[in-house]
Structure 1
Amino acid sequence: MSDQSLLSARHLRKMYGARLGCTDVSFDLHEGEVLAVVGESGSGKSTLLSLLSTELEPTAGSVHYRFRTGETRDLASLSEAERRFLLRTDWGFVRQDAREGLRMGVSAGGNVGERLMAVGERHYGQIRGKAIDWLTRVEIEEARVDDMPGSFSGGMRQRLQIARNLVTHPRIVFMDEPTSGLDVSVQARLLDLIRGLVSDLGLAVIIVTHDLAVARLLSHRTMVMRGGRVVETGLTDQVLDDPQDAYTQLLVSSVLPA
C-alpha cells in the first residue's frame, strides 16, 4: 500500500436546499485499501458516495485524486470530458440495482466489451475473448455471452455488472449496497467473489452498506455515519469489536450473532 493517498476528501458538505446530506467528511483512501461506509438509511453514506464519484457537486469541501501519472488534482477542476474518461477507465461503480449499471439492451458480452472499447480497444476477436474471460471469472457460463441481461437472475446481473466494471482494471471501485435485495445464499457467493477479485487485483474500494457483516468481510477500515456526519472511523475489527461511539455500539449490538 502506497503512503501517498489515492483519493482524499476534505471537509465535504452537501446541502439539498435546507436539508443536510452530509457535512465535514474528511478521509484518505490508499491503493489496495477497502473502506466501508456504514450507517442506517438517511445517514448520508449514499450522498457521500455520489460526491466522491463526481455524480454530485459538493456544497463545500474538496476531493483530490492521484492519477496514474502521479499528478494529484481537485476533481472539481476536471473538464466534463476528463471526468467521463476517468469514470470509464480508472474508476468503476457497482450499483445496488444492476439494471442501473448495465445496458439492458446490450448482450452480456457487449456490456463488458463496451468498456474495453471506451479505452481504445477495437479488435472484435480480442474484445470478445476478454469479455468471455471476464464472464467466466465472475461465474457466468461462456454460453451466456450473447444473452441479454434481462434473462439473468439478480445475482447474475450483479456479477455481470462487476465484470463490466473490472475489465479495464480500474484503480478505485465504488460500491453501493452491492448485495442488497439478494437471497442470503446468493449474497454469500457474491461477497466471496468480490473479496477474491479485490484481493487479486489490488483494488481500492469504497463500499456503502448497512450490513455490518459485509463491512467485516470485505473492508480494512470502517467509517460510521449518522445524520450526515462521521461519528466513528478506524480499523474494521476495532470499530466492530470495540466501538467507542454510542451510536456505533447500538448498531453493533442490534446485529444478532451468527
Structure 2
Amino acid sequence: MSNPLLRVDNLTMMYGDRVGCKDVSFELRPGEVLGIVGESGSGKSTLLRSISAQQEPTKGTVQYNTRIDGVCDVYQMSEAQRRLLMRTDWAFVHQNPRDGLRMNVSAGANIGERLMAIGDRHYGNIRSNADAWLGKVEIASERIDDLPSTFSGGMQQRLQIARNLVTSPRLVFMDEPTGGLDVSVQARLLDLLRGLVHDLNLAVIIVTHDLAVARLLSHRLMVMQQGKVIEHGLTDQVLDDPQHPYTQLLVSSILQN
C-alpha cells in the first residue's frame, strides 16, 4: 500500500462557541477519492476549507507529502510555500465555476494562466497545452479564444476543471462540483470526472449533498453531522448498510424521492 498523500489529525474549526468541524482525522492515498456528505450546515464545507489551506483551523494538523520536501505540515509552511502548493500540486473546483475562472479573459487564457503561474513563458507551448486540455474536457478547439461568459454552465465547469488540472496536481478538492447543473449535464460531467480521476490517478476530496454523486465518484465516504464525522467507511458499505441513525435517515430520504 502506498504512503498517505494527505494526513489529517484531530482537525477542529471553532467560530466562537459554534462548532464548524471537530476532531476529524483521516488519511488519503494517491488515486483515492474520499466523499464527504451531510446536510447543509453539517460542517463538510468548513472541513474542506480547513484542509485546503483556505482557513486555518483552531487545532489539529494537515500534513501533505510534497514532491520535494516530503511530508510537511501545511500550516507550518510559509504563505509563499502554501500559495505555490495551491497553484501546482493542489487544485480546487468550486461549485460555481465563476468563482474558479476569470470571466474577462478567454478560455485558453484561463488555462494558460495557471501554467504561467508556475513559470511557463513559451506562448506556443501554453496555447498548445490549453488546446489539448479543452479537448480532454470536451470543449471544441475553436472556442479557445471565446470568453467563459459565452459558455453554458456545464461548459464553464468543464473549463474550470481544465484550468485546475493543467499543472498535473496530485490532490483535487471539489465543492459540490455538479451543484446547480441540469441532470443530463450532471451525468456528462460525472462521467468526465470519473475518467480523469482514473486516468490521472488523482487523489480527490469531494464535498456533496448528493449521495448518487458520492456513490459514483468516491471510494470511501465520511458522513458528517453537526461538525462531527459520525460514519466512515467504503462508499457502497456505508450507503447499502448504514449503521448510524442519521446516515440511515439520509439514505432513506433519497430512496423515498
Report 1:32-51 matches (<5 A).
32-51=31-50
Which whole-Å deviations, capped at 9, do the CAs of 1:74-133 have from their partners, x for residues lacking one?
111111110100000000000001000011111100000011111211110110011011
CA distance in 1, matches of 2:134, 2:227: 38
- Give, as a single letter, the amino acid of the residue that structure 2 aligns with 1:194: L
CA distance in 2, matches of 1:33, 1:70: 22
Matched, 1:100 2:99: yes
**Corresponding residue for residue 179 of structure 2:** 180
**Shift >3 Å, 4+ stretches:** none
CA distance in 1, matches of 2:68, 2:128: 29
What is the CA-CA distance between 1:69 and the residue it aligns to?
2.8
What is the CA-CA distance between 1:256 and the residue it aligns to?
2.6
CA distance in 2, matches of 1:152, 1:221: 33
What is the CA-CA distance between 1:216 and the residue it aligns to?
0.4
Which whole-Å deviations, capped at 9, do the CAs of 1:181-235 have from their partners, x for residues lacking one?
0000000000000000000000000000000000100010000000000000000
Q: Which runs of 5+ in 1 are unaligned?
A: none
TM-score (norm. length: structure 2):
0.98
User: Equivalent pairs: percent with the same residue?
Assistant: 68
What is the CA-CA distance between 1:19 and the residue it aligns to?
1.3
**Corresponding residue for residue 140 of structure 2:** 141
CA distance in 2, matches of 1:171, 1:257: 38
Matched, 1:69 2:68: yes
Deviates more, 1:231-240 or 1:12-21: 12-21
**Corresponding residue for residue 115 of structure 2:** 116
Matched, 1:84 2:113: no
CA distance in 2, matches of 1:234, 1:83: 30
- Give, as a single letter, the amino acid of the residue that structure 2 aligns with 1:204: A
**Corresponding residue for residue 30 of structure 1:** 29
Q: Which runs of 5+ in 2 are unaligned?
A: none
* SS class of match (1:205): strand
Aligned length: 257
Instruction: State the Cα RMSD in Å.
Output: 1.1
CA distance in 2, matches of 1:159, 1:57: 29
CA distance in 2, matches of 1:36, 1:215: 6
CA distance in 1, matches of 2:149, 2:107: 10
Which whole-Å deviations, capped at 9, do the CAs of 1:40-85 have from their partners, x for residues lacking one?
0000000000001000110011100001136111111111110100
